A and B are shown apart, each in its own frame.
Chain A
Amino acid sequence: MNTEQELRSYFQEKYSSLTSGLNGEQTADLSQLRHKALDSFNSLGFPQNKSEEYKYTPITKTLLKSLRTDDHQVMEPQTVPPFNEYLLPNLKGHLVVFWNGRLVYCTDDLPQGLSIEPIDPQGNSLAESGIGTIANYQKDAFTALNTALFNHGAFIKVAKRSVIEEPVVLYHLWDDRANYMQTRHLVTAEANSHSQVVEIYKCTSGTKNTFHNSVTEVTVGKNAHFSYHKVQTECGENIHVGNTHISQASDSTVKCTTITTEGRMVRNNLNLTVDGSNCESHMYGLYLLHGTNHVDNHTRVDHRLPHCYSNELYKGIINDRAAGVFNGKIFVRQDAQKTNAFQSNKNLLLSDHASMNTKPQLEIWADDVKCSHGATTGQLDEEQLFYLRARGLDKQQARSLLLYAFAQETLEQVTSPVLKDYLDQVIQARLIEDHG
């Protein structure tokens, strides 16, 4: 494909074949929603060169170059692949597994208060889900595309006052047979509940380009605690656009961590709408890039009501020819007095060819607020390196010790010890690979 128009037509055809394949079996609501989303997608189009939002991430160009159109039928039922060997050993949780974008396993052993229903292309389980209300398909082409075309996903519901100890773990696994995947998840964490969701993205084999366009919509009820971890550690040549939209009601606490160590081109949009007072929102990110990885984290916090606190820390270590992008938007609306919003992005560039583009964006209409932001991009501290070497550590050991320490500040925010151990191992291995 050569033009954005062709790329768009490709997906329009996919839409036609999806709807005709469903043979009128999908719910009327969903078919309407998909139709509207397709219209939006058509008018939005894939981001063009001049697009401010994708200025440093040429996603359309990359898709034109790399999207494979040799037809793998993502929708066709296949034999269930042996996914067990790709799960993180010891990570306990309520599992849902997708392979090449298709649901292959969904636990039915659920504690009281937790329900997980598979989402299918017909939309049978979506009646009460409120799909599309938080993830705005009118503004973002990828959210629109996903809404028009999603096939599988999970609808997770945590009932009022339920405390769910173990996380819901959504595994997205794929192999070379997938050319594109569109998964869609919905989470409703009702009032006073405690829960966590982990999304793990993992390429099981192969070196081909794959495209994953995922959307996760989360509603967090009053006084609920919700945490969300997104883990992109073994993603090979994947092109990923992920939209996580979270809406928070009063007195709720949300904590998100996004950890990326691999990917051809990754764009994570994390949108938090703080639609209640006295909320707490934490966002942590770590990207550890090498080779020609390109990872872009866009975050957006919208403070609409007073007395809320948000804190954001994203850290990056960028080596070789890899590129990092960070854009952090904070909106503080006129009614959101007494907001405390903090943002920080710190980066280490380890090679002359590594690059980082960082942009904080604060828009504040309220007058009684405390907001701060800061971004740094630099090299390892020579004084620190010398100190460690003067005590007998060689250059590589000193470097990896300092890099690990740098990463630690965000890693320690991962609440699950098993997941944290796993990430520790991935990061240590990477530091040894690159610096040892």
Chain B
Amino acid sequence: MLKVDNLRASVEDKEILKGINLEVKPGEVHAIMGPNGSGKSTLAAVLAGRESYEITEGSVTFLRKDLLEMAPEERAREGLFLAFQYPVEIPGVSSTNFLKTAVNQIREHRGQEPLDAVSFLKLIKEKMKLVDIDQSLLSRSLNEGFSGGEKKRNEIFQMAVLEPKLAVLDETDSGLDIDALKIVAHGVNSLKNNENAVVVVTHYQRLLDYIIPDYVHVLYDGKIVKSGTKELALELEEKGYDWIKEEANITT
């Protein structure tokens, strides 16, 4: 589904991603962990098409298409979804209006009829239940004045509505209390099937008790320096990153 091959990216001549290799197949769950500043959000942003990063080398194919050639909106329409680490507040833009536009753009791309007001409302009611999000939140401006937890939940809610093929969740668990975490995990799990895939970026093994990964990768200094199964996450939780850093520094 997604194949990242020797991806290098920099910002203002500073190299941040230094040769990433990653393959995600349908039905899989991947976790990406790593110390602060290692490049996790940069990888997520580059996949979603943020223009401020310069791709200097490598390739990314998504569903057999060249992802790097596409505009951010084309990627979204093809089925890529990024849940932002820090969702931006957009005063004056109504959450529901925005989401309706987004849904219908994606539907149009898939050759489906646009949803009318009634079917759209039905859809969001159903998805609201899934992530236990309150109606009053959606009648407000997009993310404006939302608490950290509300913003994260809103990201998962949007994901549920847009039904992407590949979701990249950038620290969606950070700052959530255990109840909210369970809700988010439940949302992700109930959308999961054999056709789609999830990449979760996280600092905490805790999330991985609820969203069970098939693979765990450690990103350090712009490279994936170690990959393993869910046991790797437990090991990281216990031992921290120092041993990984040492190993990585020896090999380079």
Q: Which residues of A contact B (CB under 8 A)?
A: 381-384, 386-395, 397-398, 401-402, 404-406, 408-409
Chain A to chain B contacts (Cβ below 8 Å), 11 pairs: A386-B72, A388-B102, A389-B71, A389-B72, A390-B75, A392-B77, A393-B73, A393-B105, A401-B98, A401-B101, A405-B90
CA–CA, A408 and B109, complex, Å: 30
Task: Let me know if B73 and A387 touch, CB within 8 A.
Answer: no
Contact of B105 among A392, A395, A404, A408 (CB under 8 A): A392
Residue total for B at the interface (Cβ-Cβ under 8 A): 29
Interface pick from B29-37, B48-56, B182-190, B235-243 = B48-56
Bound Cα distance from A44 to B109, whole angstroms = 64
- Known contacts being A394-B73, A401-B98, is A389 close to B49, with CB within 8 Å? yes
Q: Which of B72, B88, B102, B109 contacts A383 (CB 8 A)?
A: B88
Per CB-CB distance, the 9 closest pairs between chain A and chain B, nearest first, are A405-B92, A392-B76, A389-B72, A392-B105, A391-B102, A383-B88, A392-B102, A408-B92, A405-B93
Chain A neighbourhood of B98, CB < 8 A: 388, 391, 393, 401
Contact A395 B71 (CB under 8 A): yes
Apart from A382-B52, A395-B73, A402-B93: 12 A-B pairs, beta carbons within 8 A? A381-B88, A386-B48, A386-B49, A387-B87, A387-B90, A388-B98, A390-B75, A392-B77, A393-B98, A401-B93, A405-B93, A409-B91
Say yes or no: is B106 at the interface (Cβ < 8 Å to chain A).
yes
The reply to whether B73 and A389 form a contact with Cβ atoms under 8 Å apart is yes
Residue numbers in B under 8 Å from A382 (CB-CB): 52
Enumerate chain B interface residues (CB-CB to A < 8 A): 48-52, 71-73, 75-77, 82, 84, 87-88, 90-93, 98-99, 101-102, 105-106, 109, 141, 158, 162
Q: In the assembled complex, which residues on chain A have CB atoms less than 8 Å from the CB atom of B158?
A: 391
Cβ of A387: which chain B residues have Cβ within 8 Å of it?
Answer: 84, 87-88, 90
Please, which residues of chain A bring their CB within 8 A of the CB of B93? 388, 401-402, 405
Contact indicator A392/B162 (Cβ below 8 Å): yes
- Complex Cα gap A13–B92 (Å): 52
- Distance between B19 CB and nearest chain A CB, rounded to angstroms: 25
Chain B residues, CB < 8 A from A391: 76, 98-99, 102, 158, 162
- What's the nearest-Cβ distance from chain B to residue A132, in Å? 42
Contact partners of B72 in chain A: CB under 8 A: 386, 389-390
Whether the Cβ atoms of A384 and B102 lie closer than 8 Å is: no
Residues of A within 8 A of B75 (CB): 390
Closest to B86 in A: A383
Q: CB-CB < 8 A to B88: which residues of A?
A: 381, 383-384, 387
- State the Cβ distance, A410 to closest chain B Cβ, in Å: 11
B102 touches A393 (CB 8 A): yes
Contacts of A409 in B (CB 8 A): 91-92
Residues of B within 8 A of A383 (CB): 88
CA distance A395 to B90 in the complex (A): 16
Query: How far, in angstroms, from A391 to B106 measured CA to CA in the complex?
Result: 9
Check if A392 sits within 8 Å of B73, measured CB to CB: yes
On whether A392 and B106 interact (CB within 8 A), knowing A386-B72, A387-B84, A401-B98, the answer reads: yes
The residues of B that contact A386 with a CB separation of less than 8 Å are 48-51, 72
Q: How far is the CB of B143 from chain A (nearest CB, A)?
A: 9
Bound-complex Cα distance A404 to B88 (A): 17
For A398, what are the chain B residues with a Cβ–Cβ distance below 8 Å?
73
Residue of A nearest to B48 (CB): A390
In the complex, what's the smallest C-beta–C-beta distance from B123 to chain A, in angstroms? 15
Q: How far is the CB of A432 from chain B (nearest CB, A)?
A: 14
- Bound Cα distance from A381 to B76, whole angstroms: 20
B70 shortest CB reach to chain A, Å = 11
